[in-house]
Amino acid sequence: MDKLWAHLVEAQPPPELWLVALSALAAFVIVAYRTSWQLTRGLVTIAHEGGHALVALLSRRRLQGIRLHSDTSGVTLTRGRPTGPGMVFTALAGYVAPSLLGLAGAWLTAQGRVTLLVWSVLLFLVCMLLLIRNLYGALILLATGGAVFALSMYAPDDVQMVVAQVAVWFLLFGGVRPILELRRKRRRGQAPDSDADQLARLTFLPGGFYVLFFLVVAAASVVGGAWLMLPAAVLPSL
């Protein structure tokens, strides 16, 4: 166990600035380009529903399961009081989860703890797999988890660092786009049961306030992630 822990927390040297910048550019293109976004958006949905599930458990709600659908949507089913703080925090967690996970990943990456980051993601996916309640969801989690496991076992440290950089930037940028899409859908009246509208029914604040809250958290996470990762790459070269 001591050797395993030492392996997990072993720090890799920080990447060069050009690699961090190139990883950020690659992730931004993936999120901004429509086709690549449709192919990868399901990863953001995993983080979104995982956020709901985690906060539901922390607030002592009974978690009935998670469903991930082929149209990149998802739903987390819980049981408990239909109102109250537990329900509010559970509804709040979804849209901010990808950004906050990206921020946590940025902190680990800046510390050089790439192995710990990869195995934390793998543990997160395994826990979600235990809660999944549909075949497509199970398949997408198995495929994602298998890719992460192969990365951790067979990829050289340099490759793991590059993939970690792109993945962290992807979560940071990918946490913003669904909120902008939600804003557009609400303006067209196409999302009456969104998380923001559920929160509006649970509290005295309008749904637009929660969309703004989601966006502020996502934007702050992008800034915070850049502040963590860019200095880590710049300082060793000074």
Query: How far is residue 233's CA from residue 210's CA, in Å, rounded to a whole number?
Result: 35
Residue type, 198: Q
φ/ψ of 144, rounded to 5, equals -65, -45
Mind listing the pLDDT tens digit for each residue in 162-204? 999 999 999 999 999 999 999 999 998 888 889 999 999 999 9
- Tell me the whole-structure pTM to 2 decimals: 0.92
Mind listing the pLDDT tens digit for each residue in 3-42? 766 767 777 887 788 889 999 999 999 999 999 999 999 9
User: What would you report as the CA-atom Rg of the chain, rounded to the nearest whole angstrom?
Assistant: 18
